Each structure stands twice: as structure tokens, then as C-alpha cells.
Amino acid sequence: MHWRNYFIPTTKETPKDATAASHVLMLRAGLVRQLAAGVYTYLPLGFRCLRKVERIVREEMDRAGAIELRMPCLTPLSLWDESGRSRTMTDVLLRLDGSVWDWAAGLVLGPTHEEIITELARAYLKSYKQLPINLYQIQLKFRGEARPKSGVLRTREFLMKDAYSFHDNKPSLDKEYDNMYAAYCRIFARSGLPYLAVEADTGAMGGDASHEFMVLTDAGEDRVALSESGDYAANLERATTAPPKPAPAGEGEAPAEPLRSPTEVHTPNAGRIDEVCPVLGLPPRQMIKTLIYAGTAGQADAGAKGPPPRKLRVVALVRGDHEINELKLNRAAGLTLELADPETIEALTGAKVGFAGPQGLIDRIDKLIIDREVAVLRNAASGANKTDYHVTGVNPGRDFPLAGDKVVMADIRTVAEGDPSPTGSGSPLHLRTAIEIGHVFKLGTKYSTALGAVYLDQNGKACPLIMGCYGIGLNRILAAAIEAHHDDAGIIWPMSIAPFEVLVLALDPRDEEVMRVATQIHDELAAAGIDVLFDDRDERAGFKFKDADLIGIPLRIVVGKKSLTAGGVEVTDRRTPADKQLKPVAAAIAHVTQHVRAELAKLAAAK
């Protein structure tokens, strides 16, 4: 490809709207152009990268035995009604409003395709003999993102590979899950990403295992907890820590502090932990944070028609130095909870917000959910259920129940930096920011049940299909690769997803000999199947070098009068710009050809 005839609109200036490194570089290198919030054109260079990623994904999915198909972007709203997600995903579903054509009101742009594939399965997958099967597509998705950000990392329109597997038994799903997990490792390794698989939350759909594939970068929007020894990695939404040691009961090494009696302390206007601790002279870890939640009974997704909803009051307890994790709380409660409003709290506790405590509440609430680290506290402090008063000498089990119908003991807090790994190693956890690039998920029968997708087993019995789903964000692979591989001058592409593998740079394009040699190198490399870009523009050297660094093509061959006089051409690796190797033309061609193939093979062999 001759640059002169190509289209690479690079810029020297940094666009003001871009903050993430990948965003800045994608704009500057002429990979993408923003058309609207969260909507991007992929310019030729960016499109080439995207196609390379797409090819890797397709090859590895095919190799893993998945079968490609293509579902529509326009999907009937009725299917989302069937699954119940037209109600639960209202913010995400882009609905056509039907103001021009009434039929359009019945359509939504697909944000994901569980419903669509399940409809397909319902129609065709009738027998256990057809199972298992894994169907996938690479297709545009549309989501009503409230706030697109960080360039291509979070958009309203994006390219996704989504695969769905169908099974007639759990072990079969487990096997395919592992198969997909391995395929994802190959895909990300081949793409040159420093990825990480972490345990993920299974969300509102419950279900079994789920892993997310992450790339660590401050531009990401997920938090992950990683143990120092590497034996544990989980999304912060789900991460847990080693359980607390049981309360010292007087035996053992340190004699237990004697249990004190509850004592009210006047703590005017000190409703927050950081306000009340100095007054009580206690550290936050001796405090019990009492949070009042409201939930609705009988609610369920998937359009279940349960008994009429009833408001439930749920009290959650965590230690004063801990943050509650509402996902964990919801799971422990078996409900979707929301923090109660001040009126509800005051009515329940008889005190203003900030002075709630667990004592004496059990008969007036529907559920008490106690973090396991609260249960082992001794002589703790909490609100007194009396405005401007706290209580010290609060003891779990004595002053509020640790067991009973309404009591749930669970891990409901967010892990913190330095907490011990739950694996037993005790290795400290570190919290990091990351971007999610892939997700594998055991769905179970949620959608097959909701949509009535059943097969007949060997006994002729109708059973819901057991499903798994597996997604990869292709645009995010590009952005994550740039986040992981760049320097001050520009992008440093991994060979496998670089728009071109080799850049031939003719420094004196008006010199016949330079052009003859450079053209020859370009042509021979192209003939050898190398993706080669030839910078034949009549520009000054510095200008072209800056562009070359910016667009980040891994290998560069510089042809100039100077190099020819010195006996050849210069070969450099984008990663090590200082290391220039002067080689005769034929040797340079052989060298980069071999280097490209070796690099691709290395990436393909990585895990």
C-alpha cells in the first residue's frame, strides 16, 4: 500500500475531548473519528486493525468448534417481553419509537442476543441428539449507554463477538465453558494483550460460574482484586476475603476482654462513622454500621406472576471501616434492595438517619443481614436508635440475634486493599482498575425457560435447554492493546493486530535510486504476504518519522540516500527505536519477513 494513495489523517495536536491514552492515540493516528457521543467511524487504518482482531476471534472460535451465523440488529420487542428484559433493561434497550411507522414501535436494536438465539433454538433444537452446539456471530450491538466515555472503550454502538452454547446436561456446559475459556485465552494472547481472567459476578440472573477477561489500565471502568501471590483474582463486585477468625472466647493466646454492658453515649450531630469515632474514642473497626434497606417481596424477573408485591424492610450490618457491597447484599437477601428513604428509617428506628443500631429491631423488620465480620466483634458501638445517641458495649448474639428465621449471616462487604486472599494463602489483595474485554458465563435455563426453548431427552421428556454465553468486545481489544502498548511518541502495535506489519519509509522520494530500492522492498514484501505500507510521500524526514512512531507499525525499513551510501537500508523495531540495523536490501527483506512470521507464531503460541 502506498501512503500517498491511502487515507491516514494523522494530527499533531491532541484533541481536547480525549483523556484516555488509547483515545488520544486513536484520534491522532487517524484510526477513528467521532461522529456523535459514543459513535465512531473506523477510518482505514483503524478498520484494518479491527478486521485483524475479527479474524483472530473468528479463527479461534472456529477452531474451538463454534459455528458462525448472523442474527439481525433489528429485533422484535416481543421477544424481550417474553424474557422480561424489556422491563429490566429499559435503560439499555434502544427502542424505535414508532412515530413515523407504527410497526417500528415493535422493534429494538439488539444490545445482546440471548433472546434471539433462544428463539432460534426454540425453533430448531428439538432433540438431545443435536446437542451440544455453540453458535456465534460477530456483529454490531447497540446500547443506550447513559454516558459514553474514553473513546472506543464505552460506546453506544460497538462490535461484539457473542457465542451461545446449548446443552442437555451440566457437565456438557461445564466442558464447553472450559473450552471457551481456553479459546478466549488464545484469542487475547494472540492479540498481544496482557490479559487477566477474574471471577465475575453472575448478576441478577444468578447462575453458576462466570469469568471476565480484563486488561489492567486506569482508563478502565472495572475494579478487580488481585492477590499478591497470584492465587486469586476477582471482580471487586464479587471479590471476597478470608473469613474472620472466631471471636476469642477466653481461651487461646490472648485473654478476651470481658463483655461490657450496653451504655448510651451522647453524640450530638455525629451521625457518620468518621464523626462519631473521635467522640467515642473508638476506631471505625469497632463500630457497627447499620443500614436500612427496602425491598419488594415476590419480585422476580422473567415475567413471573407472583403474589402481589409487598414492601420489605431489611437491615444490613457491616463493620464501620467496611463498605457494603450491594450485589452481595442482594444475593444474601434474595431480593433487589434499595437504601430506604429517611422517613422510613426514622419510622423504623425512632431516630434520625445516622443513629440506627441493630438492638431491638429484629421484631420490626423482615430480615437482618449480618456481615460475618460484624458477628465476631466484641464490645462494639452502634447507633442507639435515639437521635444524637450511640451505644457502646454492644455484643452480637446478646444485643441482637446472630441466628433465627430472619437472620442471614454472610459476606456482604466490599473487600479492601490489603485484605487476605480467600484461598487460604493469606496473600494480601490489591485493588486495580481494569477494562473488561471478554466475559464467559454459564447462563443455565433462564432464557430457555422464559422463552420455552425445550428439547426432548432420551426418554422423550421435554427439558429446557441449558445455555452458556460468551462475549468479546472487539473495539475494546484495540483500545486495550493501545493502553497496554504505547509510549510518548505513539502506538506500539502487537504484530498480530497492527494495521500493517512493516513500514517502508523512503526518505528522499525524489531520488530515483531511493525510490527504486524502496519500491522493490515494498513489492517483494507484499509478494511474500507481508502487510506492508510504503511511505512514499514527498515530506520532510522528521514529519514522516513522527507519523511512523504515531501509527506504531512494528517494523520499519528506512531507505535514504544516506543509508544507501552506507551500504543498505535501516531496519528498526518500533519497540526499540535506538537499535538501528543497517542491512543490505536482500538481507533486510529476509530479516523482516522472518521477523514478522516469528512474531506472529510467538503470539499464536502464547497462552
CB of 168 to RNA, least distance (A): 22
Q: Residue 38 belongs to what H/E stretch?
A: none
- On whether the CB atoms of residues 345 and 292 are closer than 8 A, the answer is yes
Q: Strand 407-410 and strand 367-371: pairing?
A: parallel
CA angle at 122 for the pair 120 and 127, rounded to the nearest 5°? 115
**Which residue among 5, 7, 13, 251 contacts RNA (CB under 7 A)?**
13
- Strand partners for 555: 502, 573
**Pattern 323-342, RNA, x by CB under 7 A:** --------------------
Instruction: Please tell me whether residue 580 binds RNA under the rule CB under 7 A.
Output: yes
Instruction: Please tell me whether residue 581 binds RNA under the rule CB under 7 A.
Output: no
**Which residue among 205, 242, 362, 456 contacts RNA (CB under 7 A)?**
205
- On whether the CB atoms of residues 436 and 198 are closer than 8 A, the answer is no
Range 157-176, binding RNA (CB under 7 A): 162
CB of 43 to RNA, least distance (A): 12
Q: Residue 232 belongs to what H/E stretch?
A: none
Give the per-residue SS3 of 54-120: HHHHHHHHHHCCCEECCCCCEEEHHHHHHHCHHHHCCCCCEECCCCCCHHHHHEEECCCCHHHHHHH
The count of residues interacting with RNA (CB under 7 A) is 60
**Which residue among 2, 4, 36, 101 contacts RNA (CB under 7 A)?**
36
3-state DSSP call for residue 430? strand
CB of 584 to RNA, least distance (A): 14
Q: What is the DSSP string of 131-148?
A: -SEEEEEEEEEE---SS-
**Which residue among 188, 293, 441, 455 contacts RNA (CB under 7 A)?**
441
C-alpha pair distances (Å), 412 with each of 322, 345, 593: 10, 20, 56
Instruction: Please tell me whether residue 84 binds RNA under the rule CB under 7 A.
Output: no
Nearer residue to RNA within complex by CB, 441 or 455: 441
CB of 10 to RNA, least distance (A): 5
Q: What beta strand segments (E) does 261-419 contain?
A: 263-266, 288-297, 310-319, 323-324, 337-339, 367-371, 380-383, 389-394, 407-410, 413-414
Nearer residue to RNA within complex by CB, 93 or 391: 93
Backbone angles phi, psi at 585, to 5 degrees: -50, -55
Nearer residue to RNA within complex by CB, 274 or 579: 579
**Which residue among 266, 364, 461, 561 contacts RNA (CB under 7 A)?**
561
- On whether the CB atoms of residues 390 and 419 are closer than 8 A, the answer is no
Nearer residue to RNA within complex by CB, 276 or 507: 507
Nearest-angstrom CA–CA distance, 568 and 559: 8
CB of 547 to RNA, least distance (A): 5
CB of 427 to RNA, least distance (A): 27
- Strand partners for 400: 396
**Which residue among 217, 475, 563, 593 contacts RNA (CB under 7 A)?**
563
Nearer residue to RNA within complex by CB, 351 or 482: 482
Nearer residue to RNA within complex by CB, 87 or 461: 87
Other CB atoms within a 10 A radius of the CB of residue 511 amount to 16
**Which residue among 60, 501, 508, 599 contacts RNA (CB under 7 A)?**
508
Nearer residue to RNA within complex by CB, 10 or 395: 10
Instruction: Please tell me whether residue 16 binds RNA under the rule CB under 7 A.
Output: yes
Nearer residue to RNA within complex by CB, 70 or 245: 70
Range 138-157, binding RNA (CB under 7 A): 143, 145-150, 154
Range 478-507, binding RNA (CB under 7 A): 489, 507
- On whether the CB atoms of residues 118 and 6 are closer than 8 A, the answer is no
Instruction: Please tell me whether residue 19 binds RNA under the rule CB under 7 A.
Output: yes
CB of 515 to RNA, least distance (A): 13
Instruction: Please tell me whether residue 218 binds RNA under the rule CB under 7 A.
Output: no
**Which residue among 70, 305, 510, 607 contacts RNA (CB under 7 A)?**
510
Instruction: Please tell me whether residue 439 binds RNA under the rule CB under 7 A.
Output: yes
Nearer residue to RNA within complex by CB, 235 or 392: 235
Nearest-angstrom CA–CA distance, 107 and 158: 19
CA angle at 593 for the pair 591 and 599, rounded to the nearest 5°? 95
- On whether the CB atoms of residues 418 and 427 are closer than 8 A, the answer is no
CB of 293 to RNA, least distance (A): 13
Nearer residue to RNA within complex by CB, 19 or 263: 19
3-state DSSP call for residue 505? strand
Q: Which of 157, 386, 388, 160 is nearest to 267 (CA)?
A: 388
Would you call 124 exposed, middle or buried from its count of C-beta atoms within 10 A (0-12, 13-18, 19+)?
Answer: exposed
**Pattern 103-122, RNA, x by CB under 7 A:** ---------x-x--------
CB of 117 to RNA, least distance (A): 11
**Which residue among 77, 92, 96, 297 contacts RNA (CB under 7 A)?**
92
**Which residue among 274, 458, 542, 579 contacts RNA (CB under 7 A)?**
542
Nearest-angstrom CA–CA distance, 150 and 215: 15
Chain contacts with RNA (rule: CB under 7 A): 10-17, 19, 28, 34, 36-38, 88-89, 91-92, 112, 114, 143, 145-150, 154, 162, 202-205, 221, 439, 441, 469, 471, 489, 507-508, 510, 540-543, 545-550, 558, 560-563, 570, 577, 580
